[in-house]
Structure 1
Amino acid sequence: MILWYWYSFVAFVFLSSILIVKNKRTNKKNLPPGPRRLPIIGNLHQLGSKPHRSMFKLSEKYGPLMSLKFGSVSTVVASTPETVKEVLKTRDVECCSRPYMTYPARLTYNLKDLGFSPYSKYWREVRKMTVVELYTAKRVKSFQHIREEEVASFVDFIKQSASLEKSVNLNKKFMKLSGSIICRIGFGFILKGSKFEITYEEVIQGTMEVVGSFAAAYYFLIIGRIIDRITGLHSRCEKIFKAMDTFFEQSIKRHLEDESIKNDIIDLLLKMERGEIGLGEIQLTRSHTKAILLNILNAGIDSSAQTMTWVMTHLIANPRVLKKAQAEVREVIKNKDDIVEEDIERLEYLKMVIKETFRLTPLVPLLIPREASKDLKIGGYDIPKKTWIHVNIWAVHRNPNVWKDPEAFIPERFMDSSIDYRGLNFELLPFGSGRRMCPGIGMGMALVHLTLINLLYRFDWKLHEGMEAEDVDLEESYGLVCPKKVPLELIPVLTQWT
């Protein structure tokens, strides 16, 4: 018995020595600066309801690369074009994997999607497949007739509202427009009149809220799951998953039973399941198909809808800009009734308006967290392996060293500027950059351009009686994609071109 205690004591001293040495080594690392941490929770108490804003304020004090601790998770936050460029370009390979996150894993059939899957051979093959098969310019062009038909139907609805001098909830109408198009090009059915019409908006926005949350389960292991059950996050995730899974099952079953449904995205994915379209050594299963469909459904509907909502919000809040944008559209289009997507190429000011909207209200203010795959250096600081990396797009877009009057909506700042939003200019990154950049930009922006040109050409817009431009609420709700908190309700007015 005495010998057993002696062995136990020696083992305790040995393990303690290892921990002390390890802590000393950790302390010797040149980690980025950051605020003081509370025991157990670290810096979680400093996030608030809008983490992107809180992190921005902290970065103003602690610097462009900042260390935070969320429970047991060590995190760094990049907040300037220079540090973000190191993460997304210079060190992209070492920084482009994902940490395991409980709720995204559940919703994506155990990380079989593109957005949350860790960097791997599977991810590379599926990414290549989506770019080649789903998001090429040719594929985007092939769905143009669907976009034109749905936008024409949308315009007819606006005409009816204008004739009745009735206000339109543009948040809801843009969501329905995007949903109608994605359901046709992705799933081969019409949204209107379907069972999914009733629940799609709640399910999609709920998904974005869940995957964008700072869930306790990510940072506190077992007790975190208990906390999430108490807050209702766990049950919300399960409810959303069951609704989405049922929708995917019904959509796939419809394709399998009706061979006439062809050339949509489900049709392509089913061909990949059967091996008719090769993925190298990767074999898609039904779970892979549904996980990829989740990305297409959520990103395709929510991102486009929120972009259009924010553009119209900034226009109505800035009458000078609205007047100038409409004058350009009407001068270029003139009496042409058949508006096409290609017309955007001649609308230089409208393109500036869209860029400025992305700058001031980025759809994804905090990119999905990344994880360092090995020990590395960023900005001269040590970033240990497994550290989570947050890229704060909100902070980049409000950097006063890059943007003059960063809080003001000034589209003219892009005049004679080569800055674009396609991932090559690190001052403006609404869709990210590098390997993890959103592959569906072309598909989404085609709808945004066509819709906005129609709305600015065919209608004038006004606020409810008694409201002024300065009364327009610009606050966002937090999620992976940040929607406008207060719905945008405007009254359309018929013009001579309507």
Structure 2
Amino acid sequence: MDYYTLVFRTIFALGFLYTLAKLSSRGSKRLPPGPSPWPIIGNFHLLGAKPHVSLANLAKNYGPIMSLKLGQMTTVVISSSTIAKQVLKTQDEAFSTRFIPNVVQAHNYSKFSVVWLPVCPQWQTLKTFLNTKIFSSNRLDANQHLRSQKVKELIAYCEKCSQEGEALNVSQVAYKTNLNLLSNTLFSKDLADPFSDSKVELSDVLWRIMHEVGKINLVDFFPILEKIDLQGIRRQSNIHFGKFFELFDGLINERLEEKRRRCSEKSDILEVILNHSAENPKGIDHNHIKSMFLDLIFAGTDTTITTLEWAMAEILRHPEIMNKAQAELAEVVGKGKPIEEGDVSRLPYLQYIVKETLRIHPPATLLIPRQVDQDVELYDYIIPKGTLVLVNVWEIGRDPMFWKDPLVFRPERFQSLELDVRGKDFELTPFGAGRRICPGMPLALRMVQAMLGSMLNSFNWKLEADIEPQDLDMEEKSGFITPKAIPLRAIPYPL
């Protein structure tokens, strides 16, 4: 076959596939408007390095509800609070099923996880347990002392850096501290040491899992590639998930042996879960427990440190905000004291800072994707069975139709806006809403507010290398979670 014949046949084949795609898009189903797909790849070429930004720009042309074709996957993107409310609350049941990425199917994690299970009796049992036994105010208050000690250790480490005049990597230190905050709540023991790298492996494994989860996996959009695992994501996730489940097996078996020998009783979450499991053996088994721990670590670690890093970055970029926050802390708590979780209710400006951070820098910019399991009517459109549904909370938090000066970081805006982040106000839903709201939200909020308040009330802060506040790089890193592209480094010094 000569060169020209090959070129002609290739052009003809691509044209034929494009015609089929156009014809199929004109079917009886009334899809929302959207860009015309290319053959085979659909609209993948439009996503760019930061999908949430690209989708926000597309929404300016196609509207707050639009459809795209990502490979073989029909995708609908929601970019307004009004339609988000319809999806997350009014028609919550129809949109409650999760899209299950190939990566979270490793070690059958998604089959036992409250995050990924469909709404079913098993999911309801796990969700009820989380809400009543782990994330209730009484339970969180009962184990607050476990987290309080870790905040004090964080401040001690900052004091060491202050005395030596050294900059610290805010996300790295917060990451290790937060992992210990969480692991003490879960297991009454440290899983990372903020003062050395001797136990950095576990943190590294968690980072690697989030890195794999954050990638665009072609298998999810071209199922024919599943057996090939072209990018090696499933292979890597099997390794990393396996390490976590091996750790959890050891912790569970160690505690069961302690209980068998009637050693000292603990008040952590592992103890609560094992006691409940013993009383209800058919409700929560060993696999559910391990997947629940992974859910809690995911929900309580990455979102928390990302929010803390962005909050510190914005505060360092706006010194007047730091001054105002420190004045409130000194008046309410006392200058130089660590913040207890119970203090936060008396610190409205600290809460405003966290809300404003979550508005302009939501950790999961597109939330956790959903997938409809039957045809659904939404605003005169038909969302076909199997459609992937994304809610762009990054764009909703910057909507100029609701937010005045949406790109300006101004915590004071919440003095006159009675908005919360707990899923009732759809202009601000960084944790989602409805029955699929993030289960770790109550704990994550407590931890980020306690750490941020303690860091501000114990030290002044400045950027390393005499970087001027207005010169601080604020670029995002792409992925499922969006931390700063360049990690924040800052120097603590005495108040």
Same-fold call, TM > 0.5? yes
How far off is 1:493 after superposition? 0.6
Aligned to 2:274: 270
Aligned to 1:9: none
Task: Please say if 1:203 is aligned against 2:205.
Answer: yes
Task: Please say if 1:317 is aligned against 2:320.
Answer: no
Structure 2 matches for 1:432-451, cutoff 5 A?
432-451=432-451
CA contact (8 A) 2:372 2:385 kept: yes
Task: Please say if 1:403 is aligned against 2:406.
Answer: no
Distance in 2 (CA, whole Å) between partners of 1:51 and 1:468 is 30
Task: Please say if 1:125 is aligned against 2:125.
Answer: yes
How far off is 1:202 after superposition? 2.0
CA contact (8 A) 2:306 2:483 kept: yes
Structure 2 matches for 1:227-306, cutoff 5 A?
228-229=229-230, 231-259=231-259, 260=263, 262-274=266-278, 276-277=279-280, 282-306=282-306
Structure 2 matches for 1:308-387, cutoff 5 A?
308-335=308-335, 337=337, 339-387=339-387
Distance in 2 (CA, whole Å) between partners of 1:286 and 1:308 is 33
Task: Please say if 1:150 is aligned against 2:150.
Answer: yes
Given the superposition, is the C-alpha separation of residues 109 and 341 from structure 1 closer, same or farther in structure 2, using an over 3 Å criterion?
Answer: closer
Distance in 1 (CA, whole Å) between partners of 2:414 and 2:310 is 18
Read off the aligned partner of 1:454 and give its amino acid letter: S
Distance in 1 (CA, whole Å) between partners of 2:464 and 2:213 is 35
Aligned to 1:55: 55
Aligned to 1:481: 481
How far off is 1:224 after superposition? 4.6
How far off is 1:126 after superposition? 1.0
**What do residues 172-217 of structure 1 show as CA deviations (whole Å, max 9, x unaligned)?**
1100111111111212322356999322222222222323332111
Given the superposition, is the C-alpha separation of residues 30 and 137 from structure 1 closer, same or farther in structure 2, using an over 3 Å criterion?
Answer: same
Distance in 1 (CA, whole Å) between partners of 2:28 and 2:309 is 49
SS of 2:466's partner is coil
How far off is 1:222 after superposition? 2.5
CA contact (8 A) 2:192 2:202 kept: no
TM-score computed with the length of structure 2 as normaliser = 0.90
SS of 1:478's partner is coil
**What do residues 351-385 of structure 1 show as CA deviations (whole Å, max 9, x unaligned)?**
11111100110011011111113222212211122
Aligned to 1:214: 216
CA contact (8 A) 2:329 2:335 kept: no
Distance in 2 (CA, whole Å) between partners of 1:373 and 1:165 is 57
Distance in 2 (CA, whole Å) between partners of 1:307 and 1:95 is 27
When the two chains are superposed, the root-mean-square deviation of aligned CA atoms in Å is 2.2
How far off is 1:96 after superposition? 0.5
**What do residues 319-341 of structure 1 show as CA deviations (whole Å, max 9, x unaligned)?**
22222222222222235746422
Distance in 2 (CA, whole Å) between partners of 1:342 and 1:110 is 35
SS of 1:28's partner is coil
CA contact (8 A) 1:52 1:395 kept: yes
Given the superposition, is the C-alpha separation of residues 468 and 106 from structure 1 closer, same or farther in structure 2, using an over 3 Å criterion?
Answer: same
Distance in 2 (CA, whole Å) between partners of 1:184 and 1:221 is 40
Q: Give unmatched runs, 5+ long, in structure 1.
A: 1-19
Given the superposition, is the C-alpha separation of residues 297 and 89 from structure 1 closer, same or farther in structure 2, using an over 3 Å criterion?
Answer: same
How far off is 1:145 after superposition? 0.6
Distance in 1 (CA, whole Å) between partners of 2:138 and 2:91 is 32
Aligned to 1:6: none
SS of 2:27's partner is helix
Alignment coverage as a number of residue pairs: 468
Aligned to 1:3: none
Task: Please say if 1:490 is aligned against 2:494.
Answer: no
Amino-acid identity (%): 34
**What do residues 260-299 of structure 1 show as CA deviations (whole Å, max 9, x unaligned)?**
363322223333433x147xxx533322211111101221
**What do residues 465-496 of structure 1 show as CA deviations (whole Å, max 9, x unaligned)?**
3311122121222333222221111010112x
Task: Please say if 1:174 is aligned against 2:207.
Answer: no
CA contact (8 A) 2:338 2:453 kept: no
TM-score computed with the length of structure 1 as normaliser = 0.89
Q: Please identify, of 241-250 and 166-175, the stretch whose mean Cα deviation from structure 2 is larger.
A: 241-250
SS of 2:69's partner is strand
Distance in 2 (CA, whole Å) between partners of 1:107 and 1:299 is 19
Distance in 1 (CA, whole Å) between partners of 2:371 and 2:325 is 42
Distance in 2 (CA, whole Å) between partners of 1:24 and 1:172 is 49
Given the superposition, is the C-alpha separation of residues 192 and 93 from structure 1 closer, same or farther in structure 2, using an over 3 Å criterion?
Answer: closer
Read off the aligned partner of 2:152 and give its amino acid letter: A
Q: Give unmatched runs, 5+ long, in structure 2.
A: 1-19
CA contact (8 A) 1:98 1:119 kept: no
Distance in 2 (CA, whole Å) between partners of 1:195 and 1:345 is 35
Distance in 2 (CA, whole Å) between partners of 1:187 and 1:466 is 41
Distance in 2 (CA, whole Å) between partners of 1:315 and 1:406 is 17
